């Protein structure tokens, strides 16, 4: 008798077979190793002449009554449900089954020799004439002597999802995948980091980003407002509190965009092609002036001329009057005068829009979006290319430099861009992800096929901005942009990687397009049910095993592996800053203590990284290393609300690669400003930082 034979087939249902065990001892010794028969997640083989089928066990059960005695006899009948995975023929393993077993076929236990055959077949696929085609993810959980590799082309090109509970190891797994991808010199990864975790995994010993990494946060990220579509701009600034004014604001914005974008479009030769969504430069300051003018606008009764307070302006031709309304704050009589008629559409109905523009312009957190020329001076890569006094054509072309930085197409070449979303206002996170995703997709879409270069977009904590259902009262722009990538990106070299602890809250369209998945511990029944709906039918039985998985362990499924691999994920060289805080341990020991004043100062300055606090302490002691002095000076916001930002060409460190929050006294404009200020001035500056006092405008806003 075959020493590995454990039973026979008693039922076949598609890719699922039912097996009755024929052994009484569920421990089997073979070649000096003990195997346990009937363990969930282990493998079986079914010899069928020249072919052998491979399957894994998804359920084990017993039938028959057990004696109620203290030591009951073994159950009379034990059955297993197994999922068929693939076929071995001629010492080659291939996924899929095209010949099914029949009742009574013998079933053997899967052992190391079978695994060697399977993994050997994969090694042949992964190594083609010395060209690397796969990367390692970890060790096979059933037998850690075997390394689990995934095929890079299939893994990335067909989209990826990493799903599991908080604490299951998602962030570490993501860092591992990114680390393997960025080993390739010409790879390109853009990671949207919701909680500021990943810089730690890709930084040096001083906390500064590695040479191949671009780190962008609220301090040095530049996303010019003219890249927003009309609907994105409308959602950000439209005042919806009074329904009677909403239509007037929409009509005004459409009219304003057509007029304000026309000069830049004409300079680019797009006079007849541009629309209100074309991402060409226009002045937000002009838009605000135009809105203020139209909110107060009145006509001379029975004419088309505007009733300006100064009579000479009333006599100007209508075209010149319209030009004045666009470029200069005009005065109208404060109260309705005889012979004047208020503008029927706009009069008194644009105040909410004006207030929203002014409020966000005065909020430093929106500088990355609304003050791109100021913000660019804190970004060493972009500072030379953002000049508010440049010709309109050149100002529109700044979008190209934003895309160059995102795609690492600068000197030196960088293949990982981390976009830290943690410091951005939550109401623009969706828009930020949407605009960058759409821009990168469109860039590849319009690239000629022979020069198109693939890029991986990683959406971490994706449930925050890729909701399963539309949010009432708000448009979900990121959801629409990522769904487009999921459905069409493969053809144009744009891949998505979705990372989430709540798959049941994510767009089903996005998840269903993910061919490769890393499924980690998942306890929530809603998440399990949802995950089962978006994975292939043959893998749904895996979902029931997820609650029992250890942290750092996951099932890798999809075309990138020959069969579902229960894998112990390898640690990356450095871990993201995502570990759980030890409540009980810190409550027991007391920890290191904290300086409340320093933490309040970090709050004022909007600095979250641990490196910033350490740098501040070194600066106070006067022992900061000169080699890192001024590392973040170029990318920090000025302390004084009215301070003028650094000018292009100033002696600054590479802000795009430096941690914005790490600063030293020798290169810190904030420290210099404080040293010259009186105590009263310091307090006023601090109060301004806390309460968002309106800032002086540094130069003309472009």
**Token pair 């909680």 is at which residue?**
195
Looking at the chain, how many residues does it have?
Answer: 702
Q: Which of 201-205, 229-233, 612-616 has the lowest mean pLDDT?
A: 612-616
Which pLDDT value is given to residue 49?
85
* Whether pLDDT at 664 is above 60: no
Put simply, whether the predicted model's pTM sits higher than 0.85 gets the answer no
Residue 682 φ/ψ, nearest 5 degrees: -60, -45
Average pLDDT of the chain to the nearest whole number: 82
Of 55, 83, 20, 95, residue with least CA distance to 541: 83
Q: Which of 197-201, 256-260, 667-671 has the lowest mean pLDDT?
A: 667-671
How deeply is 145 buried, as exposed, middle or buried, from its count of CB atoms within 10 A (0-12, 13-18, 19+)? exposed
Which pLDDT value is given to residue 68?
58
Which pLDDT value is given to residue 121?
64
Higher pLDDT, 14 or 121: 14
Q: What is the band of 75 on the pLDDT scale with cuts at 50, 70, 90? A: low
Angle of CA points 50, 52, 53, to nearest 5°: 145
Residue 341 CB neighbour total at 10 angstroms: 14
- Report, as an integer, the average pLDDT of 312-338: 89
* Whether pLDDT at 559 is above 50: yes
Token representation of residue 536: 């292939």
Question: Omega of the bond prior to 494 within 30 degrees of 0, cis?
Answer: no
Which pLDDT value is given to residue 32?
84
Longest dimension (CA), the chain: 111
* Whether pLDDT at 675 is above 60: no
Q: Which residues pair with 209 in a beta bridge?
A: 203
Q: Which of 344-358, 534-548, 675-689 has the lowest mean pLDDT?
A: 675-689
SS3 416: strand
Which pLDDT value is given to residue 692?
43
Of 274, 433, 378, residue with least CA distance to 386: 378
Task: Report the relative pairing of strands 77-89 and 33-36 from DSSP bridges.
Answer: unpaired
Q: Which of 323-332, 336-345, 566-575 has the lowest mean pLDDT?
A: 336-345
Q: Which of 30-34, 60-64, 497-501 has the lowest mean pLDDT?
A: 60-64
User: Do residues 217 and 423 make contact, with C-beta atoms less than 8 angstroms apart?
Assistant: yes
Q: Which of 37-41, 70-74, 191-195, 449-453 has the lowest mean pLDDT?
A: 70-74
Higher pLDDT, 259 or 117: 259
Which pLDDT value is given to residue 678?
42
DSSP E strand stretches across 516-650:
516-520, 553-557, 565-569
User: Do residues 369 and 436 make contact, with C-beta atoms less than 8 angstroms apart?
Assistant: no
* Whether pLDDT at 25 is above 90: no
Which pLDDT value is given to residue 592?
79
Task: Give 455-510 pLDDT, tens digit per residue.
Answer: 999 999 999 999 988 777 778 999 999 999 999 999 999 999 999 999 889 998 99
Query: How far is Cα 288 from Cα 302, in angstroms, rounded to an integer?
Result: 28
- CATH for 147-212+415-580? 3.40.50.300
Domain spans in the chain, listed from the N-terminal domain onward: 5-126, 147-212+415-580, 595-691
Distance between the two ends of the chain, CA-based, in angstroms? Answer: 85
Task: Give 247-296 pLDDT, tens digit per residue.
Answer: 999 999 999 999 999 999 999 999 899 999 999 999 999 999 999 999 99
């Amino acid at each position: 008798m075959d020493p590995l034979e454990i039973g026979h087939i008693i039922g076949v249902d598609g890719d699922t077979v039912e097996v009755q065990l024929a052994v009484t001892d569920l421990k089997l010794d073979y070649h000096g190793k003990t195997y346990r028969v009937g363990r969930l997640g282990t493998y079986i083989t079914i010899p069928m002449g020249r072919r052998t089928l491979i399957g894994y066990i998804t359920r084990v059960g017993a039938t028959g009554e057990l004696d109620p005695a203290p030591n009951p006899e073994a159950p009379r009948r034990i059955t297993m449900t197994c999922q068929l995975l693939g076929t071995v023929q001629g010492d080659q393993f291939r996924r899929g089954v095209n010949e099914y077993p029949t009742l009574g076929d013998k079933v053997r236990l899967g052992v190391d020799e079978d695994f060697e055959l399977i993994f050997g077949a994969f090694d042949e696929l992964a190594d083609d004439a010395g060209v690397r085609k796969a990367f390692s993810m970890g060790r096979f959980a059933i037998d850690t002597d075997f390394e689990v590799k995934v095929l890079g082309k299939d893994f990335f090109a067909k989209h990826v999802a990493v799903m599991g509970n908080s604490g299951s190891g998602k962030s570490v797994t993501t860092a591992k995948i990114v680390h393997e991808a960025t080993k390739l010199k010409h790879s390109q990864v853009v990671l949207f980091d919701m909680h500021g975790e990943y810089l730690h995994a890709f930084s040096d010993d001083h906390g500064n980003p590695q040479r191949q990494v671009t780190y962008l946060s609220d301090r040095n990220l530049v996303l010019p407002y003219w890249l927003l579509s009309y609907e994105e701009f409308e959602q950000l600034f439209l005042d919806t509190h009074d329904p009677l004014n909403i239509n007037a604001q929409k009509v005004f914005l459409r009219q304003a965009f057509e007029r304000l974008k026309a000069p830049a479009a004409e300079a680019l030769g797009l006079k007849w092609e541009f629309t209100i969504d074309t991402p060409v430069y226009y002045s937000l300051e002009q838009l605000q002036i135009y809105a203020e003018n139209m909110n107060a606008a009145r006509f001379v009764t029975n004419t088309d001329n505007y009733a300006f307070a100064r009579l000479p302006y009333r006599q100007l031709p209508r075209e010149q009057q319209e030009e004045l309304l666009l470029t200069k704050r005009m005065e109208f009589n404060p109260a309705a005068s005889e012979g004047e008629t208020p503008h029927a559409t706009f009069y008194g109905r644009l105040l909410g829009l004006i207030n929203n523009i002014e409020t966000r312009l005065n909020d430093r957190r929106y500088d990355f979006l609304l003050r791109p020329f100021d913000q660019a001076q804190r970004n060493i890569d972009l500072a030379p290319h953002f000049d508010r006094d440049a010709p309109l054509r050149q100002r529109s072309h700044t979008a190209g430099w934003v895309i160059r930085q995102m795609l690492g197409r600068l000197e030196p070449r960088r293949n990982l861009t981390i976009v830290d979303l943690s410091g951005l206002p939550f109401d623009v996170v969706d828009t930020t992800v949407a605009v960058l995703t759409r821009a990168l997709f469109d860039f590849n879409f319009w690239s000629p096929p022979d020069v198109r270069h693939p890029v991986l977009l990683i959406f971490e904590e994706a449930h925050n901005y890729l909701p399963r259902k539309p949010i009432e009262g708000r448009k979900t722009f990121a959801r629409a942009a990522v769904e487009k990538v999921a459905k069409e990106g493969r053809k144009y070299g744009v891949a998505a990687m979705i990372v989430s602890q709540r798959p049941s809250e994510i767009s089903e369209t996005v998840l269903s397009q993910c061919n490769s998945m890393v499924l980690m511990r998942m306890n929530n029944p809603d998440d399990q049910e949802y995950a089962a709906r978006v994975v292939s039918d043959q893998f749904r039985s895996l979902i029931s095993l997820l609650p029992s998985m250890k942290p750092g362990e996951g099932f890798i499924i999809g075309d990138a592996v020959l069969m579902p691999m229960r894998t112990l994920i390898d640690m990356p060289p450095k871990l993201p800053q995502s570990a759980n805080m030890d409540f009980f341990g810190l409550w027991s020991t007391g920890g290191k203590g904290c300086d409340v004043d320093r933490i309040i100062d970090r709050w004022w300055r909007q600095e979250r990284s641990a490196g910033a606090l350490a740098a501040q302490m070194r600066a106070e002691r006067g022992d900061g290393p000169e080699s890192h002095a001024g590392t973040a000076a170029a990318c920090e916001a000025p302390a004084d609300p009215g301070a003028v930002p650094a000018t292009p060409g100033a002696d600054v460190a590479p802000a795009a690669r430096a941690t914005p929050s790490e600063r030293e006294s020798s290169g810190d404009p904030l420290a210099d400003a404080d040293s010259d200020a009186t105590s009263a001035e310091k307090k006023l500056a601090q109060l301004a930082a806390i309460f968002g006092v309106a800032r002086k405008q540094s130069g003309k806003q472009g």
